[in-house]
Amino acid sequence: MMETDVANRNRTRVENTFRVIDLMEDLRDIWRQSAPLQNLTDSEKEKLKKKLEKARKAIEKIEATI
């Protein structure tokens, strides 16, 4: 049972890590599309904020397991 719990915890850490990486790639795409001035529309700003919040939550989940 303990090994299953550890395996599940580790799998979840990896999944959350990849989630954060994917979200950061999305942010980078937005920055690239809006370069060089990065004058973002309200829609783009909202999209960025949502992605950052999702990344923050995933990081908090990772930290909680350390």
pLDDT given for residue 2 in this prediction: 81
| Number of folded domains that form the chain | 1
50 HSE (CA, 13 A, CB side)? 8
Domain that holds residue 8: 2-64
- Put simply, whether the predicted model's pTM sits higher than 0.85 gets the answer no
Q: Is the dihedral of CA 11, 14, 16, 19 positive or negative?
A: negative
The model's pLDDT over 6-43, given as tens digits with 9 standing for 90+, comes to 999 999 999 999 999 999 999 999 999 988 888 899 99
